[in-house]
Every structure is written in structure tokens, then in C-alpha cells.
Structure 1
């Protein structure tokens, strides 16, 4: 896309960006807006000390002003538009102030799609969402696009990748591959645009602390993945997501619907990833590739060589005692943690499992997870937090094969103490990271450092 095209949407505009963050996405969007000549006010509830690494990357632009450690109503008035980050509360009074004043409120990915549409840029957007499996399915589709040598750009919920700079890179004929959580899908409702190829992996309890316990409100955000599709678009489902649509959605779906099933893949193909949940991920990626018209041999090579995604049921290595280490950091719901543990148990029925998990609650029920841990996991290390409180209360009376901890280092060392030869140690929290960690990425990185240091020793 030409510079003059996208710059015209931002030059001279007064913009408030709500949420700077620590993960790079907010920084990238703010940098892009400032480089296009926008007058940016960046506001975040974190103070300057907490944001020092992020703020360091914005020093070159004098047109950026800051409100830190709080939000101010004044920053949400007399603006050309507001750019809000994922996770801003649904009932934010500041967003209400802007909306009541008639100021457009955007999210970055939705704004990108809106501008591309207005400028007539011919791109194919593949959007992938679901309560579990979206990262692995996105990784599988990316592997296929790479193998097919197709021009693509990653977007959405990808660590360190901002969305607005896509406008500099995308050209006619390109593919945008986006992993989209429910918060980012809010932005598609605002512009009434859905991906050309939508993938909906599954739907179960998640983020209910954010959605005030309402599955219907949660599904409303998720429905943006298909709600604005046309008859030229495709919606790839599983039997689980199909059931969710039947339960929670009453509107018309214009797109061609396809239910992906693992039995549709050739029996002769082999894969490095395993488990029922990964069979679902493989089948949906296969369906996307077929829609794109990619040759079967190319699909086979990509899927067969795919080794997994960081933090998603990821095998890291085996130590000198035959202990295997897995990183399932991104399993932040009890259902996803149980699914990962079940996959390990099916594949290695005679091996003991030691779990590192727990943390902060997102309004989940933990009875099923606690029952599974008590029966199938040899020892459990739980990070202190509201989710761990629930898990502990759900354990059977006199159950003692667990302990609580306040740090990853302590949890990891205790896991090693309890491990025997050929055991499996897995980080699979089933909960949010807040409290013990700043975010899920910090939890992920600490675990990986400890495992890799142990494997080297």
C-alpha cells in the first residue's frame, strides 16, 4: 500500500491510544501513528517506572504526550479517534465519554481491515479464533503458506507484532494471517468486517472474569469472526464450534460453512504433534489449505514437519535421567490443561506426570481439573493465587500430593526433587499469570530459561 494512501488517515489527526503495554504491540502502533504525523496522547494505568522499557522506544517522537498511572477524561474528548488496546473493560467510563461525544473508537486490527477495504486493496484475510487451539492452528496454516511460498503477513495476537504497520507492507494479492482473541474481535464489530476465511476452533469458558460471567457476552465478541462475512467467504468449524453457534447465535451466516474432521486427512500422513486437540487443529489447517487451492503434497510436507508452537504443548527436551519437559504455558483454562494432560496420558500411559500450574482465577470452575490431578498426576506444584485456592478446595479430603509456591524457580526445583527417571514435567497453568508474574510471557520465559539451563547441566 502506498505511503500517501495510509498516511492520509492519520496525518494531523489527534489520537488517544488507550494502553501502551509491555509486549510491543502498543509501542508499534504508537510509533506508526507518530511516524504518519498524528498527534498522539498515550495513556496507561501503569506508571513510567513500570513502562520504562516501552517508553524508551518512543523517545524519538516529540509529538507524543503521555498520561501515565491513570486515565483522564480530557484525553477522551476532542479527538479524531480513540485506539484502544485489548482488554479495556467493557464498561470503561473513558470509552463511554468518547462514544457519547461521537468520537470513533477503534482497535488496531479492525482499523487496518477498514482502511484496506476503503482503499480497495485486494487481500485475503484468514482469521483464527477459539478458546483453545488458535495459536497452534495459526502456526499450522503459517507452515503451509511458507511451504507454498505464498506472500503473507502475521497479525492479531502475535507477541511483539503491531497491527497498524501492516498498512506499510500489504499489497494486492497478499494474505493476512491473524490469530484473534475475543478482545481483538471487538474491533471487527466496530467496522463490521470479518475475515474472508474464518476459523473457529472451539468455544468454552474463558475470560469470564472480564465478561462478568456471561458466556453469551463472550460469544458475542467471538461471533465477529463470521458475523460480517459474505457469500464469497468461508467459515471453517469443528463439531464443537458448530454446537456453540447453534446454542448462542440466532443470526444468518452468509459464508460457506465447512466442518473440519481429522478423518478427512489421508491416513498415510504422519505428524510430530499429537493429542485429540491437535487432530482438530490439523484438520482445520488442512481445510484452509484446500480452500486456498494449495496442492496436497505441499500440505503434507508442511503438516508433517510442523513441530509445534512455543508454549502450546511444546516438547522442550529430555535430560540425562530420561525426564521429558513440556511447555504448555498458554493453557490458561482448566479445560485446556486437562486436555493436554489427557494427551500425555494416552501417549505415555505408564509414565508419571508432574504438573506446574495454578495462579489467578478467571471465573472458572475447577472441580474437573482438581479431580483429574488427584487421580492422574503424581505431584502438582501450584502458584499461589485465587485459582489455586479453588483447586485446593476441590481436592479430595486428605489429598497431599501438591504444594503451593510463590516463584517459578521454587516450583521448578521442587518438580525436579519429586521427579523420578523417565517422568514428565509439564508447565500447564490452567489459570492466569497475574500475581506471581507480570504476564503470561514472563511465566513462559522463566520456565524456558530454567529448563534449558537444567538440560545443559
Structure 2
């Protein structure tokens, strides 16, 4: 891309999105510098991915002055109020996120369906990509889901990319413009970074800020914060509580959809949907709205809904040992997500929870624990905070572990046939693991190492 030829670009962070941005910009002829606060030794596994002519800066900070760079591509893990980011902004250097960079390189024949929300993003993003592929249109799931969008726009020349967008990524977009966007829900999360719910919701709403009158955003009509939003484009609401005149809704246990002035169309019976849990209906209705707005016919949407089982680390059945089902919900990184996970089971639950703190309020989660949980096993930075919340509502069967191995062992001791051992931490993983995926994979490994008891 000629506009980046010779441009001095600083890429912040050497995680997946950073490395993918480096490749995109290198191919475009940019003059690249890469920064990461980790040491060269800690970054050893990534060093081979950095082209030889790229400058690398490591350590706790970098001095940046006006005129040093033409553009900064930031990692979603670096807050915009970080001192180094503040210095960059004061120097008048534009800052964009990796999804914004990817949008600038997107082929004209490649469309984006962009999805955000507090919970359900990964499930919805994956489901949308599956529906589109089943309809015969090339599609991948990308963004915050694992495959960077900048990698997807390099690999895919046409079709539709289903893009999971986090609030951290949406903070630094400028022209990012999906064909269809969606906000699944907004509940308290990341308030350590965004400070208030109003600010958090405002950042989420950036997903549709560049859309035009003829395009759709798909919004949760049951969410009061989302209902207050005023998009610049057409709105398709979805609801599993209310029958709608237009949008996506449930009527007599049928999933219905209607856009514009077309007649209502039946997609399928609720009972046909393969995904476990009432909360997943929110994700399903959102996916129906997204794909229908993209032109996919209801009968093709149904074909995927009746076979799609979900994604890794989200209510993922690992195995049954001695009649006890072990479930990996490592992606449950906030209280609301863990509440939904607990409400997906009617059997007694041994809940493994806790992790790094995001200033979450665990009081509502504690009430559900008191109703649904048989034994609570806590670990990580937040174990004392969650314990206090649970004890306030009278729940006492609580034990603490110093590691995930110990937590699983304690859960196994207390579980009886017919119980569910559920890892749903309600917290981030950074106090013990690199990310929720590493935590989930480690849980899977521990569970598969468990032996059956001999009788």
C-alpha cells in the first residue's frame, strides 16, 4: 500500500496482533519500529517473526518526541492513559488499534461483520462465521478471537470476516466500518480501565459510529444501556423476552426474524438449537440478525444452529469421570459470564473460581452461588474477595487452593456422581496464566490426567 511506503510506524507490543501488524506494514514498505516492555530473553520465541530491518526497543518505556513517528499501532493491552501513550498523544502522533490498521488494508471484495459485547462475543463470532460458510460464502472468525484481523485481511481476498471486537480495540479506531455490526450485551467489566459503565458503553458504541443509513447494527433490545444508544444507521433489535414487530425474537418457541417491510420468517424451533444454556439464545438471536442482515436465508441459518456446539473454553465439556462432568468455562472472565454458566446446569455444581482482579462486583454472583453451587473452590488474587461476597449471603461450603491442580483435586474429592465440576473463574487469568486459553488448556490437561476410581 503506497500510503505507508517509508512511513515511520511504531508497533506497540509483540503479541499476536502486534506481530501480524508488523507483517502487514513491512509488506507495505513502512519504516518499522517495534516496542515491547519485556526483555529480549522473554521475547525470544517471537524474535524470528521480526524482519531484520525492523528496529526493536524493549524495557519499561521509550522516549518519544514530536516528529519521531508518523503513526503508532497499539496493543489492546496498553491503556490510552498509560504514561507512554499520553506522551505519544501529546506529541501529536496518531494512535490506532490493530483492527483499524487491518480495515485500512482490507480488500474491497472482503466485508466485515463486527461483534462486541461483554459476554458471548466469541461464541457469536464463531457461529456467524459458521453460518456464512454453510451458505457457501468464504468466511473466517477473526479479531479478539485469536486470529488477528490484520492476518485475515492478508489471507482472505473476498467473502466475509466475522470480527470479534473488544472495548480495548474499539478505543483506538477512526474509520473502521463494518457492513453489519452488533452489540450483544453490556454488563460491568474492565472497569479498572474504563472507570465507569457510561464510558464502557460509549466505547462499545464506537463499533457502529462509521456506519451509514442503509446499513444495520444488531442490538440487544432487552439491555437498558444499549437501548439508550442512537446509531447513525438502521437498527435491528433482538429480544428473547418480548415479541417484536421487526427484528429477531421468540414466538411460541420459534425463532423469528423480520427486517424492513418483509414478512416475518421462521428460522427454527428453540429446542432445535444445539448450544447449551438459555443465555446462549442471546448469542443465537444476535447471530441470526447479523447473518440475515448480510443476506443469508433463514433455512441456511437453521442448518448451522442445529449442529453448532460452541467454542473452546466456553461451557466446553471435557470428560466425565466417575459420573462427574468436568466443564471448561475458562472464558468466563467476569461475574455475569459465570452467572450464566452456573444457570446452564440443573445438576449440583462444584465451582472453581477466582483469578486476577478487574474491580468486579461479585455480590450478584454470590447470590447465584448460594442457590446453585454445592461447593465453591477459590484460587488466585480474588479468592478472599469472592469468599467475602459468598459468606455475606450465607454460603459457607468454601475451600481455597493455591494452584489449579489443587483446585481440581479438591473438587474431585467433594464431587459425587451426577455433579458438575465447573471451571468458570469470573476473573481474568493474568495472576497465574498468560491468558484464559492457557488456563483452559491447563484445566483440560489436569482433567484428562484424572483416573477413574476403582470400586
TM-score (norm 1): 0.87
Partner secondary structure for residue 396 of structure 1? helix
* Aligned mate of 2:350, from 354, 364, 382: 354
Residues 357 and 427, structure 1, Cα contact 8 Å, conserved in 2: yes
- In the other structure, the counterpart of 1:377 is 373
From the superposition, tell whether residues 50 and 70 of structure 1 become closer, same or farther in structure 2 (CA, over 3 Å). same
Return the alpha-carbon distance in structure 2 between the equivalents of residues 62 and 327 of structure 1.
41
Retained in 1: the 8 A contact 2:208–2:231? no
Cross-structure match for 1:40: 32
Counterpart CA distance in 2 for 1:362 and 1:197 is 30
Contact 2:268 2:302 in 1 (8 A): no
Moved more, 177-186 or 434-443: 434-443
Partners of 1:382 and 1:292 in 2: CA distance? 44
Aligned-partner SS, 1:42: strand
Q: Equivalent residue of 1:369, what SS?
A: helix
- Counterpart of 1:70? 60
Q: Which of 190, 204, 216 does residue 187 from structure 2 map onto?
A: 204
Structure 2: runs of 5 or more not aligned? 239-247, 257-266
- What's the CA shift string for 1:284-305, capped at 9, x where partnerless? 1122222233233322111111
Out of 76-85 and 410-419, give the one that drifted further. 76-85
Length, aligned pairs only: 429
The 8 Å contact of residues 316 and 326 in structure 1, kept in 2 or not, is answered as yes
Counterpart check, 1:404 vs 2:404 = no
What's the counterpart of residue 447 of structure 1? 443
Q: Match of 1:152?
A: 139
User: Aligned with 2:345: secondary structure?
Assistant: helix
Output the CA distance in 1 between the equivalents of 2:298 and 2:366.
Answer: 42
**Aligned-partner SS, 1:253:** coil
- CA distance in structure 2 between the partners assigned to 1:70 and 1:403 by the alignment: 38
Match of 1:388 in 2: 383
CA RMSD in angstroms, aligned pairs only: 2.3
Q: In the alignment, what sits opposite 2:170?
A: 185
Q: In 2, Cα distance between the equivalents of 1:227 and 1:344?
A: 38
The equivalent of 1:95 in structure 2 is 85
C-alpha separation in 1, matches of 2:270 and 2:96: 47
- Tell me what 1:261 maps to: 249
Residue 118 (structure 2) aligns with: 131
Where does residue 341 of structure 1 map in the other structure? 342
Distance 1:178 1:373, change over 3 A: same
Structure 2: distance between partners of 1:306 and 1:334: 25
Distance 2:418 2:79 in 1: 45
- Aligned in 2, Cα 1:37/1:428: closer, same or farther, shift over 3 Å? same
1:276 is paired with a residue whose SS is coil
Give the CA deviation at 1:103.
2.0
Matches within 5 A, 1:297-336: 297-319=299-321, 321-336=322-337
Shift of 1:379: 1.0
After TM superposition, the score normalised by the length of structure 2 is 0.88
Partner in structure 2 of residue 291 of structure 1: 293
The change in CA–CA distance for 1:99 and 1:14 in structure 2 (over 3 A counts) is same
Structure 1 SS opposite 2:150: coil
Aligned to 1:216: 198
Whichever structure has more strand as a proportion of its residues is 2
Instruction: Say if 1:411 and 1:292 are closer, same or farther in 2 by CA, change over 3 A.
Output: same
Divergent runs of 4+, >4 A: none
Structure 1 residues 85-124: Cα deviation after superposition (integer angstroms, max 9, x where no partner): 10311312322333333322111111222344xx8x1432
